[in-house]
């Protein structure tokens, strides 16, 4: 659907004028293609702001917020590549006249209309470079993401005050619609979010430190409680004096490679965590692993602190699936399964084999409670898989333990490597793709610190292959475009 929406400008641009006129000479050709890339890039940019607004109706269309954020990232990358191409082709078109003419476009002498576009693209490039190469604290990360709304506003001004959509009223109207949708979504979430986004007040009643890094937080509702499905997650912000004492107002550490401004202290910042309580419990519970400044500080959270929750989000749940299920949790990925296990009823016609994968046996938190559920409920078994003694959980092991694996639904929550490994291995063992359900904790941007990951679980490494591929694509596009522009400029000079 998003691809179709982004391609609409191509159809409108093609229909607005005979194609022969679009490619009449080097300047006209390059300039026309630059306009086309700008139209598709601005459409993708506007749609990306809509995806970033965390609108529940939009998230449902994608099957959950985590899946929507995966599309959000790809759409943002696409928008940047298209707008980069627009800039390069505009400069190349001017280079057909003279190199000086091309250089003049980059300065304020070209006029505010043009220079607004230059500023917008420069700011967009800086923001993307920050998220790719700098390990940002959560608050800086959020500020960088919010800056895209200002960038889009400048870009929209540039687009609608130049002749970018000349000759096509339909294209202009379509771009105006996409721009309005993006700006409204940005204003809703980032400007008036405190007033417009529905959130519920809670109070912290207990903070239990389960070991040196894992903490359970229990909250009571101060009004109507949150309604959710087992396995979903929420965003929560705490109002805590203890947190403010723990977190420095500013930190710039070269040694730790982190840039953080007010890390976690801002009272209007919300962090995502899985819900570990059952939907029918009077209290709301989350379990946090200390992976960054904010999640470490939560160990000092005091009973009586105020909390504000937003949600629920996510589509990872055992409900609505088949009567035979296999659950596989990796480390702190146990959190959504805790909610599912706690919500199981005695009369449920559901058989579950739960594999709890940990590095060492003593890291299997809540095991006593899970064993108690196993003892009182038929059809629920728990198997701890300590990596130091048994290695990683494999698809072959699951297949050996379940003769009817093809008729089971497999739910996995853990590190991306675990998910992808089991996905491919289980496909080899004959599990249909639609029966594999994964909850990935990777919709936080690569480059953000671990504290910003959903459910406070680790993200992929900042040097991941995703970053490498993106950088390679951008670098290749820039190199090809520059070579093309140089060739056009030289050809224009020779022919003059």
Q: Report the 10 Å Cβ neighbour count for 26.
A: 18
Q: Which is higher by pLDDT, 224 or 25?
A: 224
In a domain, 318, yes or no: no
Domain boundary among 313, 333, 355: 313
**The domain containing residue 70 runs over which residues?**
2-195+464-495
Q: Are residues 146 and 267 in the same domain?
A: no
Q: How far apart are CA 305 and CA 287, in angstroms?
A: 16
Q: What is the mean pLDDT of residues 186-195?
A: 87
Which residues share a beta bridge with 287?
216
Assess whether pLDDT exceeds 70 at residue 127: yes
Q: Are residues 188 and 284 in the same domain?
A: no
Number of residues that this document lists for the chain? 496
The top-scoring range by mean pLDDT among 59-63, 70-74, 138-142, 317-321 is: 317-321
- CA within 13 Å, CB half, 178: 28
Please state the domain count of the chain.
3
Q: Are residues 217 and 363 in the same domain?
A: no
Q: Are residues 165 and 211 in the same domain?
A: no
Q: Are residues 6 and 116 in the same domain?
A: yes
Q: How far apart are CA 99 and CA 482, in angstroms?
A: 13
Q: How far apart are CA 262 and CA 251, in angstroms?
A: 8
pTM, rounded to two decimals: 0.78
Assess whether pLDDT exceeds 80 at residue 275: yes
Nearest Cα neighbor of 286 from 336, 249, 243 is: 336
Q: What is the DSSP string of 418-441?
A: HHHHHHHHHHHTT--GGGEEEEE-
pLDDT band at 482 (very low <50, low <70, confident <90, very high): very low
Assess whether pLDDT exceeds 60 at residue 291: yes
pLDDT at 131: 73
Q: Are residues 147 and 21 in the same domain?
A: yes
| Mean of all residue pLDDT scores within the chain | 82
Nearest Cα neighbor of 215 from 225, 207, 223, 227 is: 207
Q: Are residues 60 and 122 in the same domain?
A: yes
Q: Angle formed by the axes of helices 65-95 and 465-495, to 10°? A: 20
Q: Are residues 338 and 480 in the same domain?
A: no
Question: For residue range 201-220, what is the model confidence (pLDDT) as tens digits?
Answer: 999 999 999 988 999 999 99
Q: How far apart are CA 34 and CA 89, in angstroms?
A: 5
Least confident range from 23-27, 42-46, 246-250, 335-339: namely 246-250
């Amino acid at each position: 659907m998003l691809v179709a929406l982004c391609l609409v400008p191509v159809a409108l641009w093609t229909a607005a004028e005979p194609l022969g006129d679009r490619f009449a000479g080097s300047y006209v050709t390059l300039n026309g293609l630059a306009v086309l890339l700008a139209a598709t890039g601005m459409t993708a940019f506007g749609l990306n702001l809509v995806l970033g607004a965390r609108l529940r109706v939009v998230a449902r269309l994608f099957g959950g917020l985590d899946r929507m954020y995966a599309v959000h990232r790809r759409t943002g990358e696409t928008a940047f590549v298209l707008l980069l191409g627009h800039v390069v082709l505009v400069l190349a078109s001017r280079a057909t006249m003279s190199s000086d003419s091309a250089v003049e476009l980059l300065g304020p002498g070209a006029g505010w209309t043009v220079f607004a576009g230059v500023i917008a693209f420069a700011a967009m490039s800086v923001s993307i470079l920050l998220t790719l190469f700098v390990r940002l604290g959560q608050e800086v990360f959020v500020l960088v993401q919010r800056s895209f709304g200002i960038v889009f506003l400048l870009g929209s001004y540039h687009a609608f005050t130049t002749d970018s959509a000349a000759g096509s009223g339909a294209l202009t109207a379509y771009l105006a619609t996409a721009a309005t949708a993006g700006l409204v979504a940005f204003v809703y979430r980032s400007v008036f979010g405190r007033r417009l986004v529905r959130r519920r007040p809670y109070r912290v009643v207990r903070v239990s430190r389960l070991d040196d890094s894992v903490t359970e937080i229990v909250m009571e509702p101060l009004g109507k409680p949150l309604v959710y499905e087992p396995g979903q997650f929420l965003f929560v912000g705490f109002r805590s004096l203890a947190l403010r004492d723990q977190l420095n107002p500013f930190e710039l550490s070269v040694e730790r490679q982190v840039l953080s401004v007010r890390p976690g202290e801002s009272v209007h910042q919300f962090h995502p965590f899985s819900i570990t309580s059952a939907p029918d419990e009077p209290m709301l519970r989350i379990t946090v692993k200390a992976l960054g400044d904010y999640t470490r500080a939560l160990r000092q959270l005091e009973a009586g602190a105020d909390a504000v929750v937003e949600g629920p989000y996510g589509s990872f749940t055992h409900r609505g699936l088949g009567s035979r299920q296999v659950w596989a949790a990796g480390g702190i990925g146990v959190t959504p399964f805790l909610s599912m296990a706690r919500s199981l009823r005695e009369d449920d016609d559901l058989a579950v084999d739960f594999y709890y994968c940990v590095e060492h046996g003593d890291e299997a938190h809540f095991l006593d409670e899970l064993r108690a559920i196993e003892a009182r409920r038929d059809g629920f078994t728990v198997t701890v898989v300590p990596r130091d003694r048994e290695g990683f959980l494999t698809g072959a092991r699951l297949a050996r333990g379940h003769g009817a694996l093809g008729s089971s639904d497999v739910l996995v929550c853990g590190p991306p490597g675990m998910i992808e490994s089991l996905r491919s291995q289980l496909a080899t063992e004959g599990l249909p793709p639609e029966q594999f359900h994964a909850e990935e904790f990777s919709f936080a941007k690569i480059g953000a610190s671990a504290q910003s990951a959903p459910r406070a679980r680790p993200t992929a490494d900042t040097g991941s292959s995703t970053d490498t591929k993106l950088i390679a694509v951008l670098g290749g596009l820039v190199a090809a475009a520059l070579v093309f522009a140089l060739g056009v400029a030289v050809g224009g000079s020779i022919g003059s």
